[in-house]
Amino acid sequence: MSNFYNSHSKVDIILLKRLIESALEIYAKLISIPANHLTTYVRSEIANASRMAYFYMIKDLKNDQQKLTRCTNEEINKYAEYCIRVYREIVESRHSSTKKGMDMYSSLSFSLESTIIYLINAIKPLSKSNPLETLIPDLFLKFFKQSLGLLRMLNLDLASEAYSSWRTLHEAECVIKLLVEGGEPLQKVYLRHLIYNNAFRHSITNKAESDKIFDELKTKMKSHDLKSKDMKKFIEYGWLYACKDYHEEDKEFKLNFRNGLQKAAGLEEYNQWYEMASELIHSSPIFFYANNSFFLDITTVNLSDIVLRAVGYFNEYVIKENVTIEKSDIIKDMLIENLKHYAEKQDDSFYTKYKDYLTEDDDDDENESTSENKQNKAK
């Protein structure tokens, strides 16, 4: 098998160049312009397709002579046609995705993008990707980068995929909210649980140190009447015992997301949205037959709202810790006010559009029915 991807001869270079030039000529003819007028971007993508095709053409050949025999003008032109078919399908798919997804030039998309990018750039100088030094800035930076990723998915018509990712973003929101509110004492406990996780995942190579951490971990678990089978959930959620709004004596509180992290953070109102996102992740019927239009709408609403809530947590952190931000407050306020305006319009539009499926009731049975309605609309 040829090792062209790792090494190549002069013959490889000559033949590949002929294939690329043939593909460029074919594509230029299709769109009725001279080949030398094709953009650098287009030429680069066609060259990528040509490299793939050339590697396939010579995959079983042993030497340069066999390559020359194989790569006749007729064969090169045939594979150049294949390259252009591949490239045109990619271009058409991209065009279709951006046409169906959230318009990236719309006011709301622009507002989300400009706000998120501003926040990312404001937080970057504070973050060192070292939890022992910059835990909270690290978490905020990851949060807003993930938010930008969701927006990109919406622009590309990957709405249900974006909504399943919103689930992770909401989990991160709950952690950030509690750590900002709890300040340094809670953050220290959270950091200790990160160390427990490293030991559990065998990331600590010093056996004596690892054993010492496990002894501490077991002692802490015993103090909460937990068994060895509870170790994983204690590592992930045990830091909640140090939260002022997590009540260990209350049987409604548990070491999990819904009855632990989300409940302590006071964000239970988003539980039904979270459960629907979980359905998407676990390959249920809603995963295969998701109503993309509905998920575009619901993810747009939830992304706008969660970004605005996160701005509030970030502002609280900046004030509490007296953090200096090397960015204009006027620009930030302008961006946030603009996002609030379009987020409110999107909320109103969403709840008007789906009012027959989304109702608010305090009765448990009716809430269950509402949840079923939401999931039916999602299909």
What the block records as the tokens of 341 is: 């305006």
Which pLDDT score, from 0 to 100, does residue 359 have? 56
* pTM summary value: 0.82
φ/ψ (deg, to 5) at 102: -65, 125
Which pLDDT score, from 0 to 100, does residue 256 have? 97
> 261 Cβ partners below 8 Å, 6+ apart?
171, 174, 175, 178, 237, 240
Which pLDDT score, from 0 to 100, does residue 365 have? 41
> 252 Cβ partners below 8 Å, 6+ apart?
259, 263
- Which is nearest to 272 in space by CA: 166, 161, 375? 375
Encoded amino acid at 268, one letter: E
Which pLDDT score, from 0 to 100, does residue 5 have? 52
> 136 Cβ partners below 8 Å, 6+ apart?
176, 179, 180, 187, 317, 321
Which pLDDT score, from 0 to 100, does residue 181 have? 98
Q: What is the spatial distance between Cα 152 and Cα 342, in angstroms, rounded to a whole number?
A: 18
Q: Which residues of 109-142 are buried (b: 16+ CB within 10 A; e: fewer)?
A: bebbbebbebbbebbeebbeeeeeebbbbbbbbb
Which pLDDT score, from 0 to 100, does residue 360 have? 53
Encoded amino acid at 217, one letter: L
Q: What is the spatial distance between Cα 285 and Cα 264, in angstroms, rounded to a whole number?
A: 31
> 103 Cβ partners below 8 Å, 6+ apart?
109, 155
What the block records as the tokens of 106 is: 């719309």
Using CB atoms within 10 Å of the CB of residue 339, give its burial: 0 to 12 exposed, 13 to 18 middle, 19+ buried: buried
Ranges of the chain with pLDDT below 50: 1-4, 361-377, 379
Cα end-to-end distance, the chain, whole Å: 47
pLDDT digits (tens, 9 = 90+) for 139-155: 999 999 999 999 999 99
